[in-house]
Amino acid sequence: MNTLEKCVRILTLFSETKPTATVSYIAKQLGLPTSTIYRYIAMLKQSGLIEQTGKAGMYCLGTKILELAHNVPKKSLQETSLPIMGQLSRETGETVTLTGLREHDGICLEKADGHHAFRVSYERGTTFPLHAGASGKVLLAYLDPQKQDQIIRKLKYDKFSETTITEPKRLKAEIAAIKKQGFALSNGEIIRGTYGIAAPIFSLSRNVIAALSISAPNHRLEEKQRKQMAHLIVAAAGKITDELALYEV
């Protein structure tokens, strides 16, 4: 190992479960003499990458690490989501949609097309109401209660089909159930004969920032497939949430 490799090895010994270490521990892990480790520790301390803790002989990562982490380029929501959406689309054959909020409406931010000839999805930039459809309801369900109430009061409650929710009281009951189960369902609420499933995507502070959804004709999403699809969508949305957290400071 050259000097750089040894320094990198030392830094990567520290982790969430091992935040501090002694020179003797580091020497043992790297198979090097303690005198050599002291020399490298001195170099890393000078750069601010390692610091001595309040306890004699113990070292931890330095504040320079935080500064470097802050400078890591942040990935956008779409950049983070697209690979996961593509994988889900290939796995299910359905079009996967990423949606967000725009004032009192939902908006399609991105989509990954499925392989079926007949697809049911929004185009990028299309806005849609929040009281109907899985995406709109899941975005509404996880909003701050004050903002949620404000939007519910201002919605027009247009009726698109016999299953469209058109009453504020019923919508509140629906979004309470969505928040409890972790995903939203829609049985033809906007387009008859289609079924939609959506799950929330959160920021590091656990604010809802988007929804991941699939919508398909009823015959492609029968009862058994719905349960499996809901599991896949919740897992994919959770993965996006986790990856976004890596880029938040």
Q: Which residue, of 29, 52, 70, is where some domain finishes?
A: 70
Q: Are residues 180 and 205 located together in one domain of the fold? A: yes
Vertex 120: Cα angle to 117 and 122 (nearest 5): 125
Q: Are residues 211 and 90 located together in one domain of the fold? A: yes
What's residue 118's pLDDT? 61
What's residue 42's pLDDT? 92
The token duo for 249 is 């400071």
Structural domain including 12 reads 3-70
Q: Are residues 185 and 101 located together in one domain of the fold? A: yes
What's residue 70's pLDDT? 63
Q: Are residues 113 and 182 located together in one domain of the fold? A: yes
Query: Whole-structure pTM over 0.85, yes or no?
Result: no
Q: Are residues 104 and 89 located together in one domain of the fold? A: yes
What's residue 72's pLDDT? 61
Q: Where are the beta strands (DSSP E) in the chain?
A: 20-22, 50-52, 58-61, 96-102, 105-112, 127-128, 184-187, 194-202, 208-217
Length of the chain: 249
Taking only the tens of pLDDT, the chain with its 249 residues reads 688 888 899 998 888 788 999 999 999 999 999 999 999 999 999 999 999 988 888 999 988 887 776 666 567 899 999 999 999 999 999 989 999 998 889 999 999 988 775 666 678 888 999 999 999 999 999 999 999 999 999 999 999 999 999 999 999 999 999 999 999 999 999 989 889 999 999 988 889 999 999 988 888 887 778 889 999 999 999 999 999 887 664
What's residue 122's pLDDT? 73
Q: Are residues 208 and 112 located together in one domain of the fold? A: yes
What's residue 231's pLDDT? 95
Q: How many domains does the chain have?
A: 2
What's residue 89's pLDDT? 93
Q: Which residue, of 70, 87, 115, is where some domain finishes?
A: 70
Residue 73 φ/ψ region, left for φ over 0, alpha for ψ in the -120 to 50 degree band, beta for the rest = beta
Looking up residue 38, the CATH number of its domain turns out to be 1.10.10.10
What's residue 224's pLDDT? 78
